[in-house]
Amino acid sequence: MASLDPRQFRDLDPGERLLMGPGPSNVPPRVLQALAAPCIGHLDPGFLSVMNETQQLLRHLFQTENALTIPVSGTGSAGMEACFVNLVEPGDEVLVAVNGIFGTRMADIVGRLGGRLIRVDAAWGRAVDPAAVAEALRGRSPRVVAVVHAETSTGACTPLADIARLSREAGALLLVDCVTSLGGMEVPVDALGVDAAYSGTQKCLSCPPGLAPLTFSSAAVARLEARRHPVVSWYLDLGMVRDYWGNERKYHHTAPVNMIWALREALRLIAEEGLAARFARHRLHHRALVAGLEAMGLEMLVPESERLPMLNAVRIPEGIEDAKIRRALLREFGIEIGAGLGPLAGKIWRIGLMGHSCRSQNVLLVLAALTTLLRAEGFRLRGDGLAAAQAVYAAC
C-alpha cells in the first residue's frame, strides 16, 4: 500500500452559504456552539439529565403529552422507517396518501414490510383530498393511515383534521410525516389525534442533519406492544430504544451525544421565541417572498390555499435553464436553492424559508439575486419584486 502524505489534505473550509433550499437550513451560532461542547459518555449522569430536557422540549414542540417522544439516531428518513417498521406487520393493510416523493417513499416501505398497500394519489403540487381518502377507506379498516403533512418535493400542505377524523372512524392509527412542517407551522399532535409523527432536525429546527424527532401516542405504543412478530429493524426497534430514553436507561446503542447537545439548544431557541411568534414569522416571510416572485412575473406551483410557508415551489420560466440559474446563485451570491424532483425536475425551483434562514434580509437578497440573473438571461420582469416584498413588510 502506498504511503500517505497527510499534507495533501487541507484544513476543512467549506465556506459560508445562505441555505434557502429544501434543507438543511442555516444553523444559529448557539446551536453550533452546543455542537462543539465536550463529548461525554452516553450513560454519563450529566448527559442523562440533558436527555430528559430534550424530551420535554420536544413534547412542547409537538404539542403533546406522549411519553414516547424522542429523537431517533438518524435523519428524517430514519424517522419514517422507524414509524413504519414498528407499526406495520406482514399482511397489515396500510393506506398511504401520495402527492410527491415522500409519500412515494412511504408506499415503498409498506411493500418492503409485506404490508397490503392502499394507495391514494393526488396531483404533485396539490394537497391530498380527504374525499379521496374517505372513498379509499370505504368498507376497509386498515392498520395505519399515513400522510405527508408538508410535501417537501412540491411545497404542498395537506390539512390533517379531516384525515385524522377519517382515520379514527376507520379504527386506524394516523401516521404523519412532518419533516418540513415541524417548527415552522402548527403540528398539534394531541389536539388532532395524530398517533405517530416524525420529523428531522435540519429543516425548521435549524439543527444539523442527523436526528429524527418522533412521537408515539398511547395507542401507537399499544400497537407496538401487541405485535405478533419482532420489529424487522433491530436498530430502530422502539420497544428497545424507549428503554434507553425511559427511566431504565437501558443501553441500546451509542447515542450521538453532541447532536443531542445541538438539538437541545435548537429546541431551547424555539421555546424562547414562542411557537405562535415563530409560526407567524414563517407566514410573514413567505408572504413577502411570494409577493416579490409574483411581482417579477414568476408563478407558484401550489395554489395559495395549499401552500407551505417554509417551502416555496416556483415554476421556472420558459427558456430559462434550471441548473444554470442555481449554479449562478451559488457561485455569485452564495445562495443555495433546490431543484425539482421526479416529474417536476427542471420545471420548478424550491426556495426554503426554514427556521434560522427565514428572515427578511434573506428574502430580499434572493429576490435581488434572481432579478439580476433572470434579467441577464433575457427574461422580461413584469415588475419590481423587491418593492413588492418591502410593501408586505411595511404593512405588517
Q: What is the CATH number of the domain that holds 309?
A: 3.90.1150.10
Q: What local confidence, expressed as pLDDT, does residue 262 receive?
A: 98
Q: What local confidence, expressed as pLDDT, does residue 254 receive?
A: 94
267 & 299 share domain: no
84 & 195 share domain: yes
In the sheet where 68-73 sits, what is the strand order? 68-73, 211-216, 196-198, 173-177, 144-148, 93-98, 116-121
Q: What local confidence, expressed as pLDDT, does residue 247 receive?
A: 87
In the sheet where 311-315 sits, what is the strand order? 311-315, 348-352, 338-339
**Is the pLDDT assigned to residue 2 strictly greater than 80?**
no
Mean pLDDT confidence for 258-265: 98
Going by the DSSP 8-state scheme, the letter that residue 30 receives in this structure is H
User: Is 3 contained in some domain?
Assistant: no
Q: What local confidence, expressed as pLDDT, does residue 151 receive?
A: 98
Tell me how far CA of residue 367 lies from CA of 114, 131, 154, 227, 287, in angstroms: 47, 38, 20, 52, 13
- Number of domains composing the chain: 2
Mean pLDDT confidence for 188-214: 98
Mean pLDDT confidence for 180-204: 98
Q: Which of 209, 243, 272 is the last residue of a domain?
A: 272
237 & 305 share domain: no
Q: Which of 272, 300, 327 is the last residue of a domain?
A: 272
100 & 214 share domain: yes
List pLDDT tens digits, range 214-249. Answer: 999 999 999 999 999 999 999 999 999 999 999 889
Host H or E run for residue 266? helix 257-273
Of 249, 206, 232, 223, whose CA–CA distance to 70 is shortest?
249
Q: What local confidence, expressed as pLDDT, does residue 93 receive?
A: 98
Range of the domain at 42: 29-272
Residue with cell 451570491: 333
295 & 378 share domain: yes
94 & 119 share domain: yes
Give the pLDDT band of residue 177 (cuts 50, 70, 90): very high
**Is the pLDDT assigned to residue 1 strictly greater than 80?**
no
User: Is 5 contained in some domain?
Assistant: no
Q: What local confidence, expressed as pLDDT, does residue 173 receive?
A: 98
387 & 291 share domain: yes
205 & 300 share domain: no
Mean pLDDT confidence for 78-100: 98
360 & 286 share domain: yes
Cell of 389: 416584498
Mean pLDDT confidence for 6-24: 93
Q: Which of 251, 272, 293 is the last residue of a domain?
A: 272
Of 176, 80, 88, 61, whose CA–CA distance to 128 is shortest?
176
The pTM score is 0.96
Mean pLDDT confidence for 350-354: 98
CATH code for the domain in which residue 179 is found? 3.40.640.10
Q: What's the CA gap between 321 and 233, in Å, rounded?
A: 43
